[in-house]
Structure 1
Amino acid sequence: MNKAYIALGTNIEPRQQHLEKAIKLLVQKENIELISLSSIYETAPVGYTDQAHFLNMVLEIETSLYPEKLLDVCQAIETQLGRERTIRFGPRTIDLDILLYNDENRTSERLSLPHPRMGERGFVLIPLKEIAPNLIFPVTGKPITELVNDLPEQDKKDIHLWKKAE
């Protein structure tokens, strides 16, 4: 089995229901097993800032799917939940990003592993640290905890625990 970490984000209401539906659809797949999930964090938007705050979380899964097939599943869930790609970094019902897949460090036409911006995004690193603090980021060789500690305070100030994992 392969280990992967997936980030979820939403800022169109009902935000919590979008997260719950995405998780349910993901784990309904027979070749995906949920190992752990972070708490939900409310975060200010990054990039395009004229939009509502996001709810973000990270899942750890095990899967027999290859990375591109896992990407297909994630994108199908986004489509099923009404995701529209109109504004880059804009509002969305749900976003599922594969952050890490085993220790792979590669780029294809459709997928970059690890996710290209995850090492500088507090809204991804903070929930990831909650469920995998000792995980090593393959690009730098540093543990996730260290990456979170190295984030500028400005990048951490708008990330707040919204709801504890159940």
Structure 2
Amino acid sequence: MALRFITPLGFLQMICHGNNMASSNRIQSPDKKGETLFINPNFVKKILSETRARPMLEICGLLLGSSGHVTEIMPMPNIAPNPRRFFEMETAGLITAHREARRRHLSVIGHYHSHPSGSCLPSATDAALAHYGQYWLIAAFNKIEGWYACKSGRIEGVFLPCELILHKSV
């Protein structure tokens, strides 16, 4: 398994494959097979900052963009009855977000949330909520991992690892 580390500034990733460590603009696992998601490093920095600001609660939001490119993130309030273990977004807020995205010729291509447990692996609850074809970013402390929901995923039967490529012009 690769070691994934993002500095507090969100600009440096260290990927370790055995004894070979390299600095990169990619966050990936060595067995990566599946989708790629391009995202601005400032978005990653913002998600991680929000995660650190609320370490005991799940934070959540939407990924806006198209064709595997995140062009905007939209933080959403977590209205779950137990926000330490779950996230839930308000229906009216989701409808408004979808309308705004369409108005700007964008789509809601996925979600992000945090796991206070420290694990970036999708949970069984995440799998139950997943819609095929959506990207999921899961943050925990100073790390973030990408996932793609599909019918034949290796994680919880739904998710495949998704390579994140940090790109400023996204």
TM-score between both structures, scaled by the size of structure 1: 0.32
Structure with a larger share of its residues in strand: 2
TM-score between both structures, scaled by the size of structure 2: 0.31
Structure with a larger share of its residues in helix: 1
Return the structure number with greater relative CO, CA threshold 8 A, min gap 6.
Answer: 1
